Amino acid sequence: MPQKPSYLKSLRKESVVQSVINVLTDAIRSKELQPGDKIPPEPELAESLGVARSSVREAIKILTYLGVLESKRSEGTFVCDGYKESMIDPMVYGILLNQDSFENLMELREMTEAGMMRLAIEHHEDRELDELESILGEMKKALELRENRVDTFFEADNRFHDKIAEMGKNPMADKINKVVRSLTHAVRYQTVSAMILSGKSDKLLDTHVQLFNAIKERDDTDLSEKVRSSYFEDELG
């Protein structure tokens, strides 16, 4: 049996999707994976890393969206060979590979989400506000479920913030927002999970109600503070 690459090691118990991303990007940074190299198939990666195939699939999906990997039908998934016009800005790519820039990433997230809020406040239509309120209702219902509360809420949470970005009517800003939200996928899921499982779901929902009311009332005061409060850094320690 061929020896598996050294980067395919067991993962620490952190966000599984982020762990898979870290393994692959570390391998790229250390040159174990070179531009143009084919990565192992999903089943092999999942088995080698001791994780579910769904986690590997989500990690590959994120890295493909970011332009780090590319899928070729019937051939497999490869490390992108050089930058292309379809890739994200190299600065953001650098954020992904720089493990010491988490605080910078969170600052970028705050700036981006506050900016999307400001655009939504300025440009939203009444029908869009109704749609956003409907998603808010789905988030509330998700918290009443006995099973899959975290995943159901997180899915609705993503649609809530995607809708806010859409309401801003700025495709370029929306693109940047999607990149940042992809980069923060793991920490956002961790936050939702921790708040719900620790019995603090009311606080989690309330921050989204505040964001909704700010858009509804066209109130752009203290947007950064409102956005940052939804990260629950104090609650999570």
- Residue 65 is predicted with a pLDDT of 79
Once rounded to an integer, what is the mean pLDDT over residues 82-101?
57
Question: Where does the pLDDT of residue 73 fall: very low under 50, low under 70, confident under 90, or very high at 90 and above?
Answer: confident
pLDDT digits (tens, 9 = 90+) for 147-184: 999 999 999 999 999 999 999 999 888 888 888 888 88
- Residue 136 is predicted with a pLDDT of 97
Residues 204 and 134 in one domain: yes
- In total, how many domains does the chain have? 2
Residues 137 and 232 in one domain: yes
pTM above 0.85, yes or no: no
Residues 219 and 109 in one domain: yes
Residues 154 and 210 in one domain: yes
Phi/psi for 230 (5° steps) reads -80, -5
Residue 236: Cβ within 10 Å count: 13
CATH of the domain at 178: 1.20.120.530
Residues 154 and 207 in one domain: yes
- Residue 13 is predicted with a pLDDT of 44
Looking at per-residue pLDDT, the higher value among 83 and 118 belongs to 118
pLDDT of 83 over the 60 cut: no
Instruction: Show contacts of 222-229: CB within 8 Å, 24+ apart.
Output: 223/114, 223/117, 223/118, 224/110, 224/111, 224/114, 226/117, 227/110, 227/113, 227/114, 227/117, 228/110
Supply the mean pLDDT for the chain: 87
Residues 124 and 210 in one domain: yes
Phi/psi for 38 (5° steps) reads -90, 130
Residues 117 and 232 in one domain: yes
pLDDT digits (tens, 9 = 90+) for 188-222: 999 999 999 999 999 999 999 999 999 999 999 99
pLDDT of 98 over the 70 cut: no
Question: Where does the pLDDT of residue 145 fall: very low under 50, low under 70, confident under 90, or very high at 90 and above?
Answer: very high
Domain range for residue 193?
100-236
| 86 part of a folded domain | no
pLDDT of 90 over the 60 cut: no
